[in-house]
Structure 1
């Protein structure tokens, strides 16, 4: 699931985003950390209260993030080829405490501390840059969605030195995610190094709305209808037929913007859009964005790689029962 870094052209393209795509990029930067703040608990069971724990920044003098990034443990690895072993009780507690702290920092809005708990490789994979100062500025532009843990556990160790924690969680109010979060040791601290998304399952009746990214220049497009009645679970299922990785974000438009063509949307209405969720789709792959309790309204599905690539989605009132 993991591509380690965008190339220089990708990074330069990301810096040239304007209008809707620029706004969505900033929102996605903020949400991306919440997406990977998967473990908000101190034990195998989690409660909302555990999300609000105190954020503890690492002692920077003791940190060796350069070594962590260069070590075999933090190098790109084929996760599917790894055979994990259950962690012992002490290591499991340490790993869960580490991801609890990581989540607590972003839930508390302490962006710099949260970023200090990751490897440069992780930042490059998620954002296309490991410039912490740039990320703190970008992420600070908007409110960070909070993470609520639904299930957490299954802590594993691997021959390459990494540790993984499996979790199901909500990012913000609507996006449901299931993943393995991988950690590496740097000094006395476990750092977030990677996240491997797992097939998501969520309770409730669901509707699937598919869309396609035809190539790396064409706007994304829904395969059939751009409207759906309200369902307990809405799954946006995207196929990337391009040669590059695409980041896709869903935004909810203000009520007064409903029905307005994308090119005619005033900047203040774009800035007033509510971030709902995001997903990365590697070249040739398919991914799902699982949304729970998505309310009636008008939405934009934005491809952050392609300027002005956005498709409007409308969620309507539920169909009456026959």
Structure 2
């Protein structure tokens, strides 16, 4: 019993992220939640995902079918913070809060490139479990890694406004080209999911979604378009860029006014892909990324420490 409690504590953050994924996707009751798909989405191994799914099964959110896996047992329609509280996942909120504080302090230059675990525990008032969860997430996202033997080292990558702009220039070169790959096909179910996410934002989500949710919705949209190319080189490159640009992406979300136009542009791209007008969709996507690049240049003061 004690062992089970320990496992649940260690995986509360992942359980919370799975609930956020269900909520963001608007999943219907009966939807399948494959462990590998979720592990790939959250960029963690399958073992903690399986533990988190088992925890959500115990809480009645999921049902488990023998030899088939986990399925959604009831709709997740309430505000996400309410769902998290009802499931006893408040610990994950602490982890998320400290994650953003560390990110902000790092961008402001208040944390050195190398830091000890004890210094982080003291600075942010963390337990060992909380610290491990925070550092695990940071490590998964690629902006810090454990030093051999002692302490942690932050990556110098993507900690300046120019770095974020460079990442968008790379995306500007690759993403529109992915839509022109031979045999490109965006699955109707994926298209429907992407469209629903944009409608949600236009109907108020821009103001109410967390920075995490806003970033992940944008990432899912763009990665879904690239994945439909079937070209693993495009897919791997874009996913790698999205992992490491997260820090400055969060900072840029202080200005949310631009998201309304972004959503409309996303919907235009989807409409064109649905009609199999891929060349026009590619040009629309190029214009969208260029628009975003210009907007980020105009708010570069927000990105500065």
Q: TM-score range by the shorter chain?
A: under 0.3
Structure with more of its chain in strand, by fraction: 1
Structure with more of its chain in helix, by fraction: 2
TM-score normalised over the length of structure 1: 0.24
- Asked which structure has the greater RCO (Cα within 8 Å, sep 6+), the reply is 1
